[in-house]
Amino acid sequence: MTTSLGVQQNSSRIPTQTKFIAFEGLDGSGKSTLIQNYRAYLEAEGLKVYLTREPGGTPLGEELRNTLLSIKKNANFKISARAELLLYEASRAQHVDQIIRPKLLAGEVVLCDRFTASSVAFQAGGRALRTGDVEWLNQFAVDQCRPDVQVFIDLTYEECQRRKQGMNQPLDRLESEKAEFHNSVYQSYKQQIEIDPEGWIVLDGHLEPQLILQRLVQDLKKYWE
Ligand code: TYD
C-alpha cells in the first residue's frame, strides 16, 4: 500500500496506515513549530509518531551534524561541496537503516525534519553541484525508502530573515551563507515542486501556526485514505 518502503510495499507485514512525511523549507520558515504541532495532532488522534531530523537522527548522524553545522575556527578546516554532500548522504543512509525503515515497519508514523529534497536544494541549488549527481546519491542513501509526501513551508529568504531579526541566535555554517545561496536554495525547492506537484504539499508560511496546521491536516487527508 504505502510507497515509503519501496520494493517492500506489498508486504503484508507493513501496516497500511504507515506514513513517512518529510518537512522542507528555508531556515526560519517555521518548520520545527509545524512539525511539533502536527505531531501533537496525530498523537491526539491515537497514532504512534516518531519525530526525527536530518542531518542527525542516529548517534552517527548527530556526530556528522556537529561537523556539518559547526563553524570551525581553524582556517584549514574546510568542507568541499562534494564532501559536504557525501556527509549528508552518509547521515541519511544510517538514518534510513537504523531508524526510519524499522519505525515504518513497526507501524509508526515518521515525521522527518528535512530529507532528500534538502540535498537537492542546498547542494545542487545552493552549492551548484549537478542535480543528477545529488539525485543518484539520494537514491543510493534511501535504498527505496521514500517519503509518501513532502511538505514545503513557503517563505522566502528575505521573509525568514525578517522573522529572525532580534532573535540574536548564533548562526551555523549553512545559515552564515550569503543571501544568494539561500535564494538559490529557495528556487530549487520551487523547481522540485513544479516538476512533481503531486508529491508535495505547499503551505503559505505567512499564516499563523495554527492555521498552517489546519491546512496541513486538510491537505494530508487524501494521503491517509
Ligand atoms: P538545521 O539547524 O536543522 O536547520 P533547520 O532548522 O533550518 O532545518 O540545520 C540543517 C542545515 O543543513 C540546514 O541549513 C540545511 C542543511 N542541509 C543541507 O545542506 N543538505 C541536506 O541534505 C540536509 C538534510 C540539510
The model's pLDDT over 58-91, given as tens digits with 9 standing for 90+, comes to: 999 999 999 999 877 677 888 999 999 999 999 9
Ligand 1 lined by 23 (C-beta under 6 Å): no
Best mutation site among 133, 174, 178 for ligand 1 pocket (most ligand atoms within 8 Å of CB): 174
More confident site: 12 or 55: 55
Ligand 1 lined by 18 (C-beta under 6 Å): no
pLDDT band of residue 5 (cuts 50, 70, 90) is: low
Distance CA(69)–CA(65), nearest Å, equals 6
Question: What per-residue string of b and e applies to 152-175 under the rule 16 or more CB within 10 Å gives b?
Answer: bbbbebebbeeeeeeeeeeeeebb
Grid coordinates belonging to 172: 551555523
The amino acid sitting at 2 is: T
Distance 24 CA to ligand 1 centre (A): 9
pTM: 0.92
pLDDT, residue 8, reads 43
Residue 27 has pLDDT above 60, yes or no: yes
Ligand 1 lined by 24 (C-beta under 6 Å): no
Over range 139-165, report the average pLDDT: 94
Ligand 1 lined by 29 (C-beta under 6 Å): no
Atom 1, ligand 1: residue with shortest CA distance: 27
pLDDT band of residue 9 (cuts 50, 70, 90) is: very low
pLDDT, residue 18, reads 65
Ligand 1 lined by 138 (C-beta under 6 Å): no
Ligand 1 lined by 114 (C-beta under 6 Å): yes
Distance CA(129)–CA(124), nearest Å, equals 4
Ligand 1 lined by 125 (C-beta under 6 Å): no
Over range 161-190, report the average pLDDT: 90
Ligand 1 lined by 27 (C-beta under 6 Å): yes
Residue 108 has pLDDT above 80, yes or no: yes
Atom 17, ligand 1: residue with shortest CA distance: 118
pLDDT above 70 coverage of the chain, percent: 90
Which range is least confidently modeled, 56-60, 92-96, 187-191, 220-224?
220-224
What is the position in ligand 1's atom list of the atom closest to the CA of 115? 24
- In tens, the pLDDT along 122-134 reads 999 999 999 999 9
Which range is least confidently modeled, 73-77, 90-94, 132-136, 159-163?
73-77
Residue 6 has pLDDT above 80, yes or no: no
- Contact predicate 71/174, CB 8 Å: no
pLDDT, residue 73, reads 67
